[in-house]
Amino acid sequence: MTIIDQLIHGFSRLPGVGKKSAGRIVYFLLKADTDYLNTLADLIKRLKPSIRTCGVCGTYTESELCNICSDSGRDSEHICVVEESKDVQTIESTGVFNGTYHVLGGVISPIDGVGPEDLFIRKLLARLTPNFSEVEVKEVIIATNPTIEGDTTALYLVNLLKNTDITISRLALGLPVGGDLEYADKLTLSRSLNGRTKLS
Amino acid sequence: MTIIDQLIHGFSRLPGVGKKSAGRIVYFLLKADTDYLNTLADLIKRLKPSIRTCGVCGTYTESELCNICSDSGRDSEHICVVEESKDVQTIESTGVFNGTYHVLGGVISPIDGVGPEDLFIRKLLARLTPNFSEVEVKEVIIATNPTIEGDTTALYLVNLLKNTDITISRLALGLPVGGDLEYADKLTLSRSLNGRTKLS
């Protein structure tokens, strides 16, 4: 196998990159700056050794605490529980949440052999005990994906926390903004009906 | 900028990779084998130093001659002229052409300041002179893209070669297989009409 074929094979393992786009990428690299190639290669090599998970919330970070947990301006009374570190970035990009996060590191999925004990739930419970820090957590917002696994995980957390004073909420399900009733699937539409908001 | 952001920025420069897919790739890499990351990084670094262009046809290769030019089983009486090295792979993937190739390294494009002298045309002419090798070239198949620049380049080559005994042809233009007349653009349809093939 030539180095071109090897690299096409390597790139085609990336998510969203098929064999054809991998080819396009490799031929692009052949014409690109050598500096860019070397920087890209170095970053890929350095990525895993440089990254660890935040000691408090479990998100990917280069320091002991992530930017959000170490930011005193963030409201630590609200914890948004997400499946993966990338979900933190997604929610951050909306700019509407000023609380903190907790990354579970996955979802309960019996089919994949993932149980609650495989997730960072113990760490979440520790954060919720009043003596963990000077701030008392008032609300846990469950932001797992609206899938069977995400729903199961949300239910598990609700059961775990229901005897506490902490408010537990979940992201609203409904029509996407700019969407069309006609193209909404039945399940989304029925969830949207059940979760309708009162206007007056 | 964190290393994650730097790498997202790096990947988003690749063709067909937006900021969102770059993010997906980086989070995938964070969970991938360290071996895979190191191999990918090494291949990217080694790519440009390992690759040169074939001394005869100009396609990317790791040796002096490319696989095709050094294969005595290929019919060197037919030369398929393409714009870029990647076009060789595309045509090879069809498996219907057993001739050899010639890579121009671009197309004539006055707007980008690319003239005939910037392309590997002199090398092509050398290959077509009878005393270049023991095999006499019988046909030059022009396989530049059906764009204004590709058409201009094809026309230039035709003018250059019209006084020789070499047959000059160009890839057929027409409806894509599996396509629908309804969705074909006017230009393709009119080219398809002009180039109609006789059935009986």
Residue B129 φ then ψ, to 5°: -75, 135
Q: What percent of chain B has pLDDT over 70?
A: 99
State the pLDDT confidence band at B186, using cuts at 50, 70 and 90. confident
pLDDT attached to residue B46: 96
Chain A / chain B CB contacts < 8 angstroms: 125
**Tokens describing residue A161:** 């926390």
Domain positions in chain B? 3-47, 73-198
Residues 6+ apart with CB under 8 A from A178: none
Gyration radius of chain B over CA positions: 21
Q: Which CATH number is associated with domain B73-198?
A: 3.40.1360.10
In this model, does residue A132 exceed pLDDT 80? no
The span from the CA of A152 to the CA of A163, in Å, is 19
| A163-172, B95-104, B157-166, B176-185: the lowest-pLDDT one | B176-185
Whether B23 contacts A59, CB under 8 Å: no
For residue A184, what pLDDT band results from cuts at 50, 70 and 90?
confident
pLDDT tens sequence across B13-32? 999 999 999 999 999 999 99
Using DSSP bridges, classify how beta strands A78-82 and A100-103 pair: parallel, antiparallel or unpaired.
parallel
Can you give the pLDDT at residue B173?
85
Chain B, nearest residue to A89 by Cα: B23
Whether the CB-CB separation of A58 and A86 falls below 8 Å is answered with no
> Rounded mean pLDDT of B149-176?
90
A6, A14, A24 member nearest B43 (Cβ): A6
- Residue B191 has a pLDDT of 83
DSSP class of A200:
-
> How confident is the model over A19-71, as pLDDT tens digits?
999 999 999 999 999 999 999 999 999 999 999 999 999 999 999 999 999 99
Q: What gap in Å lies between CA A59 and CA A101, rounded to an integer?
A: 8
What is A3-47's CATH superfamily?
Answer: RecR Domain 1 (1.10.8.420)
User: Of A64, A71, A66, which is closest to residue A82 (Cα–Cα)?
Assistant: A66
**Please, are residues B42 and B28 in contact by the beta-carbon 8 Å criterion?**
no
* B73-198 matches B3-47 in CATH topology: no
- ipTM confidence: 0.82
Distance CA B174, CA B109 (A): 24
Mean pLDDT taken over chain B: 91
Contacts of B8 in chain A (CB under 8 A): none
B61-76, pLDDT tens digit by residue? 999 999 999 999 999 8
Measured from the Cβ of residue A103, the count of other Cβ atoms closer than 10 Å reads 25
